[in-house]
Amino acid sequence: MGEMTCIEDLRRLARKRVPRMFYDYVDGGSWTEYTYRANEADFQRIEFRQRVAVDITERSTASTMVGQPVSMPVAIAPTGLAGMQHADGEILAARAAKQHGVPFTLSTMSICSLEAVAEATGRHPFWFQLYVLRDREFVENLIDRAKNANCSALVVTMDLQVFGQRHKDKKNGLSTPPKPTLRNLLNMASKPRWCIGMLATKHRQFGNILGHAKGVDNIDSLVEWTQEQFDPRLSWQDVEWIKKKWGGKLIVKGIQDPEDARLAVASGADAIIVSNHGGRQLDGAASSISTLPRIVDALGQRVEVHMDGGIRSGQDVLKAIALGARGTYIGRAMMYGLGALGEQGVATVLSIIHKELDLSMAFCGKTDIQVVDRSILLTK
């Protein structure tokens, strides 16, 4: 297997170890995947100003995100179906995040439930990502459960009122658990490590929903309920209602436009995440890193601006911070680590990103991530 020195090493191993439908769920975008590719490619166009003969002995990547101390300005993004990349995926990722001193965000569409993650991590605070579903009673219940699970921030995703079409998921017949077609069975049979793990766990369905939503007590009713629940009427009034109900730190995710950024702040957001859902919703939208400076400029210092989309290294994190982000999120990179090596894989991803961030910052002549700004980048 050899030493894992970059995120790409973990992606390759995950591809070998995870059944095709779940690997493709992570490693894909909507329609032509233009935006998915642009998220990564646009980082590569940004260049650093290397500086020398600066004392870089004492260095710190420590910062805060929504007032919470973090070892580096990186959080684990909410990712659906993490527990299908590897058995107990969300629990393992939360443990690795706790170990590394970075926030873990649990998705509404996780396999392991809020309660299971809280119990497995000794009730260590984590963040919860909320989808605003049609069943508002269920949403209220989810918010209460997040409070009871000791969640310290709520992340509301705004860009999934309808589903973008992801061709790979359609072709693979993506479902949880997988449909026992011949193609799926043959593919899973070639991933014995994954199968053994999944057989050993009780977490195999959407843990936050099954048994909690009205009339959802088996996999068929779960699929039907989920497809009907995403709400095309989602509005800023809903965000105000959630803020009031939640009462704690609120992060609004899925912002691509300065006007929406201002509306999010007016609705009570403590931070916003510049995000195009990893290129999984509106294909043809601008990359997150190219959108970030416009939104930072529009908001000034009023709230923290975070970003996700395309981060595959500590250098990407440093570029985002230089352009004004106060925090970044890793989704796919974490999922590659999880699919490749479970908890150890996620820990490896975080170590790789931290080391690259620290060294790249030093090469730019900076010793504290909190003073990094656009001056470390070449302007063209």
Active site residues: 277
Q: Is 258 annotated as a binding residue?
A: no
25 carries a ligand binding annotation: yes
Neighbours of 57 (CB within 10 A): 6
User: Does residue 262 have a known ligand-binding role?
Assistant: no
Instruction: Flag whether 309 is marked binding.
Output: yes
Asked if residue 267 belongs to a known ligand binding site, the reply is: no
**Alpha-carbon gap, residue 338 to 84, rounded angstroms:** 10
89 is in an annotated binding site: no
Tell whether 15 is in a known binding site.
no
Is 131 annotated to bind a ligand? Reply is yes
3-state per-residue secondary structure call for the chain: CCCCCCHHHHHHHHHHHCCHHHHHHHCCCCCCCHHHHHHHHHHHCCCECCCCCCCCCCCECCEEECCEEECCCEEECCCCCHHHHCCCHHHHHHHHHHHHCCCEEECCCCCCCHHHHHHHCCCCCCEEEEECECCHHHHHHHHHHHHHCCCCEEEEECCCCCCCCCHHHHHHCCCCCCCCCHHHHHHHHCCHHHHHHHHHCCCCCCCCCCCCCCCCCCHHHHHHHHHHHECCCCCHHHHHHHHHHHCCEEEEEEECCHHHHHHHHHCCCCEEEECCHHHCCCCCCCCHHHHHHHHHHHHCCCCEEEEECCCCCHHHHHHHHHCCCCEEEECHHHHHHHHHHHHHHHHHHHHHHHHHHHHHHHHCCCCEHHHCCHHHECCC
Tell me whether residue 122 is annotated as binding.
no
Is 336 annotated among the ligand-binding residues? no
Q: Please check if 23 is assigned to a binding site.
A: no
For 277, phi and psi rounded to 5 degrees? 60, 35
Cβ count near 297 (within 10 Å) = 11
107 labelled as ligand-binding? yes
Q: Are strands 127-131 and 249-255 parallel, antiparallel or unpaired?
A: unpaired
Whether residue 294 is annotated as binding a ligand: the answer is no
Angle at the Cα of 176 (from 175 to 180), degrees rounded to 5? 70
The two structure tokens encoding residue 121: 């991590």
- Which residue ranges make up the annotated binding site for glyoxylate? 25, 131, 166, 277, 280
- Which residue ranges make up the annotated binding site for FMN? 78-80, 107, 129, 157, 253, 275, 308-312, 331-332
- Which residue ranges make up the annotated binding site? 25, 78-80, 107, 129, 131, 157, 166, 253, 275, 277, 280, 308-312, 331-332
